[in-house]
Amino acid sequence: MSDESDNGPSSKINRRDFLSSAALPVAAALAPSAVLAQERRRSPSAARDKIRVGIIGAGGIVGSTHIPGLRRMPGVEIVAVANRSLESSQRAADEFKIARAYADWEQLLGAKDIDAVLIGTWPYMHRDLTLAALDSGRHVLCQARMANNAAQAREMLAASQRHSNLVCQLVPTSGSYRIDRALQSLLAGGAIGDVLSVEVQMLQRGFADFGGELDWRHDARFSGINVLNAGGTYESAMRWLGPGNRVMAKTRVQIPTRRDEQGTTRAATIPDHVEVLYELGNGAPVHMKFSETTGLSRGNDIWIFGSEGTIRVDHEQNIFLGSRSDKELTAHPNPPEAQARHRVEEEFINAIRGIEPVTLNTFDIGVKYMEWTEAIYRSAASGTVVNLPLAV
């Protein structure tokens, strides 16, 4: 993917330095539970402080994952909820046994007894809610995807820096927890030598659903530039390989119309098939493919090719490894007790109490995956290479 007309050749990077630096931001989040427990024991008084949380947007993942996760933390109380209407808020309050329901988020932020806000809305509200919550003195835990576009993501990062006394966290993609530690260990340990190229495909196995449902992920009004699971996949890849640059992309809307909630046929503008080629810091090319229209495909698949070996992750997240002396790949052990786990709410509350820093995910990481996602759109529209970080 080199192009002499751009910013010139990338400098040669030592593989161990490159991979170990890529792993640093998530080291704490992926640390063994015994180490985390030791860290928690260091601040017994902070652990007793009551933290009162308000929820804006109590949807599916908030109810199934974040509310139980927050309630598992000692001294945490969910005191209020606001959805798009008072009726919806009251239903959520009744379902999750939350004391107060508000007609809108402004009323919730006007309450005096809320220390932190969980933002569970679609991306189109993330920037406005984050800025308002920070300005009102509340810590923020925000659902992925970070924002509608990279500019909004940078606004959120700037606001978090202005309010450095407040904790800001993005919910990370959980799709790679099972393999994160194992891949980081293999790559940082030199199991396959220098990374030469990477192939990633995230494909749905069903056939194209022409005239299917137009949900928020297909609607740019609510999802912005976020496309399929591209941003989340890049976020995971950064954990193993570090950030990339020099993005080239081809996108296509295979299903041009879909039906909205009222059954009205509307144009679908967010691509449902995406191919991306970009470079790692050492110049190695990465090819990623995302699609909702690949009937009977192999589904998800990851290949990392090195100078001395190869890693493959299959659609069930089994890891296979082979070296120069091998004739084929063999299963690599990845016992459950060695795998990372979901601990977003735990990390958020611990960060508020000063027990540990936020690692998965910081707003800096969110800006990186939003800029990469926007680079896909820019490259597909222009047919040219787009360099990262994006020019502001």
Q: What is the DSSP string of 218-241?
A: G-HHHHTT--TTHHHHHHHHHHHH
Q: Tokens 């993917």 label which residue?
A: 1
State how far the Cα of 102 lies from the Cα of 88, in Å rounded to an integer: 9
Tokens representing 112?
A: 């005096």
Q: Are strands 309-313 and 319-323 parallel, antiparallel or unpaired?
A: antiparallel
Helix, strand, coil in percent for the chain, rounding step 5: 35, 20, 40
State how far the Cα of 329 lies from the Cα of 221, in Å rounded to an integer: 45
In sequence order, the 6+-apart residues with CB closer than 8 A to the CB of 218 are 258, 268, 270, 272
Q: Please determine, for residue 36, whether its predicted confidence score (pLDDT) is greater than 50.
A: no
Give 33's pLDDT tier (boundaries 50, 70, 90): very low
pLDDT per position as a tens digit, 146-196: 999 999 999 999 999 999 999 999 999 989 999 999 999 999 999 999 999
State how far the Cα of 320 lies from the Cα of 325, in Å rounded to an integer: 15
The stretch 66-83 carries a mean pLDDT of 98
The stretch 243-271 carries a mean pLDDT of 93
Q: Please determine, for residue 3, whether its predicted confidence score (pLDDT) is greater than 90.
A: no
State how far the Cα of 315 lies from the Cα of 200, in Å rounded to an integer: 11
Instruction: Say what the pLDDT of residue 49 is.
Output: 80
Instruction: Say what the pLDDT of residue 25 is.
Output: 40
The stretch 264-278 carries a mean pLDDT of 94
Instruction: Say what the pLDDT of residue 53 is.
Output: 98
Instruction: Say what the pLDDT of residue 174 is.
Output: 87
Measured CA angle at 135 (ends 83, 121), to 5 deg? 25
Q: Tokens 């297909």 label which residue?
A: 218
Instruction: Say what the pLDDT of residue 214 is.
Output: 87
Instruction: Say what the pLDDT of residue 371 is.
Output: 98
Q: Please determine, for residue 37, whether its predicted confidence score (pLDDT) is greater than 80.
A: no
State how far the Cα of 138 lies from the Cα of 313, in Å rounded to an integer: 40
Q: Please determine, for residue 245, whether its predicted confidence score (pLDDT) is greater than 50.
A: yes
In sequence order, the 6+-apart residues with CB closer than 8 A to the CB of 308 are 190, 191, 192, 193, 194, 323, 324
Beta-carbon count within 10 A of 262 CB = 6
User: Using the 8-state DSSP alphabet, how is residue 144 labeled?
Assistant: S
Radius of gyration of the chain from its Cα atoms, rounded to whole angstroms: 22
Q: Please determine, for residue 15, whether its predicted confidence score (pLDDT) is greater than 60.
A: no
**Could you check whether the bond before residue 361 is cis, i.e. omega within 30 degrees of 0?**
yes
Q: Please determine, for residue 130, whether its predicted confidence score (pLDDT) is greater than 90.
A: yes
Least confident of 36-40, 277-281, 334-338, 341-345: 36-40
Q: Please determine, for residue 143, whether its predicted confidence score (pLDDT) is greater than 80.
A: yes
In the chain, what's the furthest Cα-to-Cα distance? 66
State how far the Cα of 292 lies from the Cα of 218, in Å rounded to an integer: 11
Structural contact between residues 384 and 146, judged by C-beta atoms closer than 8 angstroms: no
Instruction: Say what the pLDDT of residue 48 is.
Output: 53
Q: Tokens 């919910």 label which residue?
A: 171
Q: Please determine, for residue 111, whether its predicted confidence score (pLDDT) is greater than 70.
A: yes
Q: Please determine, for residue 42, whether its predicted confidence score (pLDDT) is greater than 80.
A: no
The stretch 308-336 carries a mean pLDDT of 97
Structural contact between residues 310 and 192, judged by C-beta atoms closer than 8 angstroms: yes
Instruction: Say what the pLDDT of residue 191 is.
Output: 97
Measured CA angle at 94 (ends 129, 76), to 5 deg? 60
In sequence order, what are the beta bridge partners of 200?
A: 288, 302
Tokens representing 56?
A: 């804006």
User: Using the 8-state DSSP alphabet, how is residue 311 labeled?
Assistant: E
